[in-house]
Structure 1
Amino acid sequence: MEEEGRYYVVRRKAVPDVLLRVVETKRLLRANRGMSVSEATGQTGISRSSFYKYKEDIFPFGDTVSGQKITLSIEILDEPGLLADLLGAVARFHANIITIHQSIPLNGMATVSLSLEVRQETEDLTGLVEQMEGMRGVREVTILSRE
Structure 2
Amino acid sequence: MQKTSDYYVVKQKAVPEVLLKVVEAKRLLESGKAATIQDAVERVDISRSSFYKYKDDIFPFHDTAQGTTITLSMSIEDEPGLLSDVLKVIADFGANILTIHQSIPINGVASLSISVQVLSTTGDVSRMLETMEERRGVRNVKILAKE
**TM-score (ref. length: structure 2):** 0.88
Unaligned runs of 5+ residues in structure 2 are none
Q: Take 1:65 and 1:130, find their aligned partners in 2: how far apart are those partners?
A: 16
Residues 95, 119 of structure 1: 8 Å contact kept: yes
Give aligned-pair identity as a percent: 56
CA distance in 2, matches of 1:83, 1:97: 13
Deviations 1:64-96 (A, max 9, x none): 443122221111011222111111110000001
Q: Secondary structure of 2:61's partner?
A: coil
Q: Does 1:144 align with 2:144?
A: yes
CA deviation after TM superposition for structure 1 residue 47, in Å: 1.8
In the alignment of these two chains, the number of paired residues is 145
CA distance in 1, matches of 2:16, 2:79: 39
The C-alpha deviation readout for 1:8-40, integer Å capped at 9, x for no partner, is 122222211110110001100111177111211
Which residue identity does 2:23 align to in structure 1? V
| Greater helix proportion | 2
Contact 2:28–2:34 (8 Å) recurs in 1: no
In structure 1, how many angstroms separate the alpha carbons of the residues matched to 2:61 and 2:17? 17
> Aligned-pair RMSD on alpha carbons?
1.8
Q: TM-score, normalised by structure 1?
A: 0.88
Aligned match of 2:112: 112
Contact 2:34 2:40 in 1 (8 A): no
1:60 alignment counterpart: 60
Cα distance in 1 for partners of 2:58, 2:83 equals: 32
Q: Which runs of 5+ in 1 are unaligned?
A: none
What's 2:122 paired with? Answer: 122
- Counterparts of 2:106 and 2:65, CA distance in 1: 36
Q: Which amino acid in 1 is paired with 2:51?
A: F
The corresponding residue for 1:94 is: 94
Distance across 1 between alignment mates of 2:146 and 2:40 = 28
Q: What secondary structure sits across from 1:131 in the alignment? A: helix
